[in-house]
Structure 1
Amino acid sequence: MELKKRAGHQGTGPGAITPDGCAVELYARLAAGTEPDVVAAAVPAGAHILELGSGAGRVTHPLLERGFTVTAVDESQEMLDRIRGARTVCSPIEDLDLGETYDVVMLASFLVHAADMEVRRGLLRTCARHLAADGRVLIQREGEDFHRNVPRERVDPAGYTVRIVSAEPVGDGVTSVHAEYEFPDATWTQTFRSRPLTKEQFEDALAEAGLEVEDYLTEDRIWVRARRAA
């Protein structure tokens, strides 16, 4: 499948770079952090999870280790080739229609902040389309200060440094974000476009797709559990 480069997205560093600027080797190295714990606490044990935007399996593999069944979807086959133990599907998320429903649909990695509003609508429609009647959607939002207090950096316990170098408005409510990932032996950069969403805008976007917030799972409201709208 030939992937079209996404406008305003680019990446640098060793190894393959996907059209949206993600470095495959970088994503294979990134630590999962607390995300698998958040997911595991929010859904039934052993649930079948449709993971939209799995990348190289950073969260997929810890979820498998916790006893979940995972169908991992990504538009990059090179990313999916790094995943072991899960069914994988190579497809743009917004085009996905598996004809199946799942206990849990997961849209992480801030994908809901797609700069293109039609892409965002497609992502959320895909979530709704694959959701079982009593299922739940887990969505990861940007922190409300994500585009402020820049530049900033954090050192991950795994031994690498993540920097948000800049976040510059480029018009129509969209921001161009430049990030750096510095490891002892290599450095990667990624530039991507993001559309910040207030809590109200986010909830309106869910409603448009026939979804509603059930609860915010973390105090910072980054992780959200949603359901079919009543």
Structure 2
Amino acid sequence: MSGQLVREGYAGTGPGSITPDGCAVELYARMSVGSEPEVIGSALRPGASVLELGCGAGRVTHPLVGLGFDVTAVDESAQMLERVSGARTVRSPIETLDLGEERFDAVVLGSFLVHVGDHRVREGLLGTCRRYVKDAGVVLIQREGAGYHSDLPREREDRAAGCTIRIVSAVPVGDGVDEVRAEYVFEDARWTQTFRSRELSVEQFEAYLAEAGLVIDRYLTPDGLWVLASPEQL
């Protein structure tokens, strides 16, 4: 783990480096991408500048670059960023990101990060989204679907990667926060990840965005997982 301190409630096991939030670098380098690039790309003009927050090993970054977007990819893990190519990379926690006066056509906060258990961290995440989006730009946020914390255990197959993904449990740890345990099983390797997640109703989710100065324009997918917001105009 290269001397990095794992955050309370976050852990990971399996081959290779594990980041402070329990993500395994090799695992995320193996995982295939789903519809995320198409969903994001459909909301942007060609060649738009994109700030991707929490890029990991570039699972979404690389397709966005391939679609012609000018991507700045942010992650706090140097090992993750070593796997990213074709994009400008910045190593930083999202909530303390300092890019000076730069602004982007689009800011992307994926991977259900908005559901982080700590309210102060969520305020920081959304504050970063608001700070770095242009006045005429957009913020794209991925949120959890219905039953994410209650329809357990469940699993799905990532056939492209050759992996079975299981969400094993979501155990309450207080103040509306669950400790979620996930497993990723390949023929030649197995990883686990434990992280903390706060279930948010649509009303709570929209209220947090409003507090950050973001106004929801529309939900981009029928399941409501991807949301398009814009900065509130004062």
State the TM-score bracket (shorter-chain normalisation).
Answer: over 0.9
Which string of whole-angstrom CA distances, capped at 9 and with x for unpartnered residues, describes residues 72-119 of structure 1? 000001100100111000000000120210000000000001111000
Structure 1 counterpart of 2:132, from 114, 130, 133: 130
**Using the alignment, how far apart are the partners of 2:150 and 2:11 within structure 1?**
22
Q: Once the 2 structures are TM-superposed, how far is the Cα of residue 19 of structure 1 from its aligned partner?
A: 1.0
Could you say what secondary structure the match of 1:139 adopts?
A: strand
Aligned pairs for 1:110-149 (under 5 A) are 110-149=112-151
Q: Once the 2 structures are TM-superposed, how far is the Cα of residue 5 of structure 1 from its aligned partner?
A: 2.0
Could you say what secondary structure the match of 1:119 adopts?
A: helix
* 1:205 matches 2:216: no
Partner of 2:92: 91
Letter in 1 for 2:216: V
TM-score by length of 1: 0.98
Partner of 1:72: 73
Could you say what secondary structure the match of 2:155 adopts?
A: strand
Partner of 1:50: 51
* 1:12 matches 2:13: yes
Q: How many residues align?
A: 230
**Using the alignment, how far apart are the partners of 1:157 and 1:14 within structure 2?**
21
Structure 2 counterpart of 1:155, from 154, 157, 165: 157
Q: Once the 2 structures are TM-superposed, how far is the Cα of residue 35 of structure 1 from its aligned partner?
A: 0.7
**Using the alignment, how far apart are the partners of 2:52 and 2:201 within structure 1?**
24
**Using the alignment, how far apart are the partners of 1:128 and 1:97 within structure 2?**
13
**Using the alignment, how far apart are the partners of 2:4 and 2:227 within structure 1?**
30
Could you say what secondary structure the match of 1:167 adopts?
A: strand
**Using the alignment, how far apart are the partners of 1:83 and 1:112 within structure 2?**
23
Could you say what secondary structure the match of 2:221 adopts?
A: coil
**Using the alignment, how far apart are the partners of 2:220 and 2:95 within structure 1?**
25
Letter in 2 for 1:140: Q
Q: CA RMSD in A?
A: 1.1
Could you say what secondary structure the match of 2:206 adopts?
A: helix
Could you say what secondary structure the match of 1:206 adopts?
A: helix
Partner of 1:219: 222
Letter in 2 for 1:129: R
Conservation of the 8 A alpha-carbon contact between 1:97 and 1:129: no
Q: Any unmatched runs of 5+ in structure 1?
A: none
Aligned pairs for 1:176-215 (under 5 A) are 176-215=179-218
Partner of 1:104: 106
Q: Any unmatched runs of 5+ in structure 2?
A: none
Partner of 2:63: 62
Q: Once the 2 structures are TM-superposed, how far is the Cα of residue 44 of structure 1 from its aligned partner?
A: 1.1
Percentage of matched positions with identical amino acids: 63
**Using the alignment, how far apart are the partners of 1:34 and 1:107 within structure 2?**
15
Q: Once the 2 structures are TM-superposed, how far is the Cα of residue 223 of structure 1 from its aligned partner?
A: 0.2
Q: Once the 2 structures are TM-superposed, how far is the Cα of residue 157 of structure 1 from its aligned partner?
A: 2.3
Letter in 2 for 1:217: L
